[in-house]
């Protein structure tokens, strides 16, 4: 049995986050915009300050004490992150500025080298623009084409015809592990196995999964796995590309410059070994170190415990939202199949109006297309509102959010939609 976070632990966790201690518009902040970016615990902020105040130096270059310490801490962060996602080696863990950069790296380096006219890239209808636009660009340059896995009415993937969708021409399957809009958690292993049977490479977007659940890249069976540090208590401009070693070895570098070289001659260059071949220039040192500390923090609390806590909060929110005939919730109702976020519409009230109304009560939610326009077009919507939870959120905060929705529905005169769940 997995333990839940008890009230004392939750209070202690909340105390770790300086941002959460404030009032917004005179009300205690309720931060429900964690899918956009999470808040940072004091130890992460302190670790980054410590780097700048005590051992600021470049990595892998100097032989003085500060440079050696900076290099040690930077590489220690890589080691911790590799362990966190169960990567088979540190060399297969590459620091990037985040998910977007990691996907672009794969698109430019692997896809442009390996794809040709008529090849297929299989996506889903729930991908973030970061896992969409780089593939459009690859298609423009190579003549490859995009296909998509359809959705079931409950927001899960339609996988019954997966074997037909993945053909001999499919070279890449790129899928999110958890949707940032529907919350759907996808059966990545099953998709990876089907893709590998046809010889396709699999990229998994873990931007919304790694912060919220235990992730084991080897158990998922993927070839590439990408995520962002800022959504998991880490700094902005930190992120990871994990890749299978043999594939990374065969890929050309993404960018050229310092660090990614072994030798530079008058007319040619010998590239560095992994992972440095893909880390051109001075990296985001403080950010990498901060991400390592964020991983320590999450590990100490326990990813399984965090997942359970979010399941509990999400179930509570979904149950409360059932009382609103005006509200449609998107994505699966079953918390086993979804992560800790709830995307909804309130009658025909514009989601931006709901978010502005919520802000007056100190509640931070997101409204818009959430960088998933193809999904919103599929749903026939221009925008939705999204409340997304994390380890520091509480049932009391959900109550504050629900009370705000009761006020909003009266204020805007929202009418029932006749669609309580799903789409
Ligand atoms: C599923 C998903 N993929 C990719 C991204 C892009 O992440 P970043 O902006 O950190 O590169 C996000 C960010 O919201 C996301 O939710």
Backbone angles phi, psi at 341, to 5 degrees: -150, 155
Q: What is the pLDDT of residue 418?
A: 60
pLDDT tens digits for 3-17? 788 899 999 999 999
Mean pLDDT for 387-403 is: 98
Instruction: Strands of 53-183 (E only): list them.
Output: 93-96, 120-124, 145-149, 170-176
Q: How far is ligand 1, taken at its centre, from the CA of residue 229, in Å?
A: 10
- Please give the Cα distance from 205 to 240 (Å, whole number): 11
The protein residue with its alpha carbon nearest to ligand 1, atom 12, reads: 207
Q: Which two structure tokens, joined as six digits, stand for 277?
A: 């071949």
* CA 178 to ligand 1: nearest atom: 1
- Determine if residue 362 is left, alpha or beta; phi over 0 gives left, psi from -120 to 50 gives alpha, anything else beta: left
214: Cβ–Cβ under 8 A, 6 or more apart, which residues?
303, 304, 307
The answer, yes or no, to whether the previous bond of 44 is cis (omega within 30 of 0) is no
Q: Ligand 1 pocket: which residues have CB below 6 Å?
A: 35, 98-100, 128, 130-131, 176, 180, 205, 207-208, 228, 230, 371
Instruction: For the chain, give the longest Cα–Cα distance.
Output: 73
pLDDT tens digits for 124-177? 999 999 999 999 999 999 999 999 999 999 999 999 999 999 999 999 999 999
Q: How far is ligand 1, taken at its centre, from the CA of residue 5, in Å?
A: 27
Instruction: Strands of 290-402 (E only): list them.
Output: 327-330, 341-346, 363-364, 366-368, 384-388
pLDDT surpasses 80 at 222: yes
Backbone angles phi, psi at 96, to 5 degrees: -130, 180
Q: How far is ligand 1, taken at its centre, from the CA of residue 227, in Å?
A: 8
Tell me the angle at which helices 285-301 and 303-321 cross, rounded to the nearest 10 degrees: 80
**CA separation (Å) from 344 to 120, 287, 317, 321, 417?**
33, 34, 11, 9, 12
Pocket perturbation via mutation, ligand 1, pick of 107, 235, 371 by most ligand atoms within 8 A of CB: 371
Strand 341-346 to strand 363-364: parallel, antiparallel, or no bridges (unpaired)? unpaired
* CA 176 to ligand 1: nearest atom: 1
Q: Which two structure tokens, joined as six digits, stand for 388?
A: 């997304």
Mean pLDDT of all residues in the chain?
A: 96
Q: How far is ligand 1, taken at its centre, from the CA of residue 128, in Å?
A: 7
Backbone angles phi, psi at 106, to 5 degrees: -65, -40
Q: What is the pLDDT of residue 346?
A: 97
pLDDT tens digits for 301-360? 999 999 999 999 999 999 999 999 999 999 999 999 999 999 999 999 999 999 999 999
- All CATH 3.90.1150.10 domain ranges of the chain, comma separated, are 7-40+302-412
Pocket perturbation via mutation, ligand 1, pick of 107, 123, 124, 128 by most ligand atoms within 8 A of CB: 128
pLDDT surpasses 60 at 241: yes
* CATH architecture label of 45-299: 3-Layer(aba) Sandwich (3.40)
Calculate what percentage of the chain has a pLDDT beyond 70: 98
Q: Which of 81, 79, 86 is nearest to 297 (CA)?
A: 81
Of 139, 222, 320, 371, which one is the catalytic site residue?
371
**CA separation (Å) from 76 to 41, 292, 293, 320?**
19, 8, 10, 44
User: Which is higher by pLDDT, 229 or 3?
Assistant: 229
Task: Place 248 in a pLDDT band, splitting at 50, 70 and 90.
Answer: very high
pLDDT tens digits for 34-80? 999 999 999 999 999 999 999 999 999 889 999 999 999 999 999 99
Q: How far is ligand 1, taken at its centre, from the CA of residue 102, in Å?
A: 11
pLDDT surpasses 60 at 421: no
pLDDT tens digits for 291-305? 999 999 999 999 999
* CA 37 to ligand 1: nearest atom: 14
pLDDT tens digits for 271-288? 999 999 999 999 999 999
- All CATH 3.40.640.10 domain ranges of the chain, comma separated, are 45-299
pLDDT surpasses 50 at 423: no
DSSP string, 246-290: HHHHHSPPSS-SSSSEEEE-SS-EEEPPTTGGG--SS--HHHHHH
pLDDT surpasses 50 at 1: yes
Span of 94-98, 207-211, 342-346, 415-419 with lowest mean pLDDT: 415-419
* CA 239 to ligand 1: nearest atom: 10
Q: How far is ligand 1, taken at its centre, from the CA of residue 207, in Å?
A: 5
* CA 370 to ligand 1: nearest atom: 14
Mean pLDDT for 211-234 is: 98
SS3 (DSSP) at 339: coil
Query: Is there a catalytic annotation at residue 371?
Result: yes
Q: CA torsion angle for 134, 138, 143, 147 (degrees, to 10)?
A: -40
Q: Which fold has domain 7-40+302-412?
A: 3.90.1150
- Please give the Cα distance from 399 to 320 (Å, whole number): 9
Backbone angles phi, psi at 282, to 5 degrees: -65, 120
């Amino acid at each position: 049995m997995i333990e839940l976070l008890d009230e004392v632990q939750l209070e202690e966790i909340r105390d770790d986050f300086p941002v959460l201690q404030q009032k917004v518009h005179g009300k205690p902040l309720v931060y429900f915009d964690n899918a956009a970016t999470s808040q940072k615990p004091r130890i992460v902020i302190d670790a980054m300050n410590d780097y700048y105040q005590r051992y600021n130096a470049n990595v892998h270059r100097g032989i003085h004490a500060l440079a050696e310490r900076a290099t040690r801490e930077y590489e220690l962060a890589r080691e911790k992150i590799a362990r966190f996602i169960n990567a088979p080696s540190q060399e297969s863990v590459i620091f990037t500025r985040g998910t977007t950069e990691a996907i672009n790296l794969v698109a430019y380096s692997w896809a442009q080298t390996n794809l040709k006219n008529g090849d297929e890239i299989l996506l889903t209808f729930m991908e973030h623009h970061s896992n969409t636009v780089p593939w459009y660009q690859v298609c423009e340059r190579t003549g490859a084409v995009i296909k998509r896995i359809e959705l079931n009415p409950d927001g899960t993937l339609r996988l019954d015809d997966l074997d037909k969708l993945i053909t001999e021409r499919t070279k890449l399957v790129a899928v999110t592990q958890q949707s940032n809009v529907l919350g759907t958690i996808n059966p990545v292993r099953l998709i990876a196995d089907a893709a590998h049977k046809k010889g396709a490479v699999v990229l998994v977007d873990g931007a919304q999964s790694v912060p919220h659940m235990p992730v084991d890249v080897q158990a998922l069976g993927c070839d590439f796995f990408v995520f962002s540090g800022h959504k998991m208590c880490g700094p902005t401009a930190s992120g990871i590309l994990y890749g299978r070693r043999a594939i990374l070895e065969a890929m050309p570098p993404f960018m050229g410059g310092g660090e990614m070289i072994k030798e530079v001659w008058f007319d040619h260059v010998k590239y560095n070994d992994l992972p440095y071949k893909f880390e051109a220039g001075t990296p985001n040192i403080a950010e990498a170190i901060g991400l390592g500390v964020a991983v320590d923090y999450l590990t100490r609390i326990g990813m399984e415990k965090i997942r359970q806590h979010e399941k509990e909060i999400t179930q509570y929110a979904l149950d409360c939202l059932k009382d609103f005939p005006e509200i449609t919730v998107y994505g699966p109702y079953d918390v086993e199949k979804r992560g800790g976020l709830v995307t909804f519409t309130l009658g025909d009230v514009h989601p931006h109006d709901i978010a502005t109304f919520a802000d007056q009560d100190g509640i931070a939610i997101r409204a818009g297309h959430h960088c998933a326009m193809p999904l919103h077009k599929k749903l026939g919507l221009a925008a939705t509102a999204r409340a997304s939870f994390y380890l520091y959120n509480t049932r009391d905060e959900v109550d504050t959010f629900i009370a705000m929705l009761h006020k909003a529905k009266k204020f805007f005169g929202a009418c029932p939609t006749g669609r309580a769940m799903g789409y």
